[in-house]
Amino acid sequence: MYFTTVSMGAQLHTINSLLPTEHIQYIIEDANDRALFVDPSFLDALEPAAQIPAFDSIDCVVMSETVPETGLDLVDYESFIDAVQRPRPEISQKRSP
């Protein structure tokens, strides 16, 4: 994930799950986040912070094979990757002399 983020020209930051809800909201709004990759153990801290308008345009991806029951609009990591994969270009098998 770290290599991909830098390769696409984006920035990666972390959020301390022990921060108060208002601080988490500020970090997400100030960073202008477009995606959150969330460990399932962080969902309890994230759910109250999701009550801000900035969350309407953020993809929340849970780093798990299954999506836990929560009030957040989540997608599991594998489904997220499948949805954003682009087709690979065909490579010619012909070799130049």
32 φ/ψ sector (left φ>0, alpha ψ -120 to 50, else beta): left
The domain locations on the chain are 2-84
pLDDT at 94: 57
pTM of the model: 0.72
Q: Which of 69, 12, 9, 65 is nearest to 35 (CA)?
A: 12
pLDDT at 12: 86
pLDDT at 19: 94
Reading the chain (97 residues) residue by residue, the pLDDT tens digits are: 777 777 777 788 889 989 999 999 999 999 888 888 889 988 988 899 998 888 888 888 888 888 888 888 888 888 888 886 666 556 555 555 5
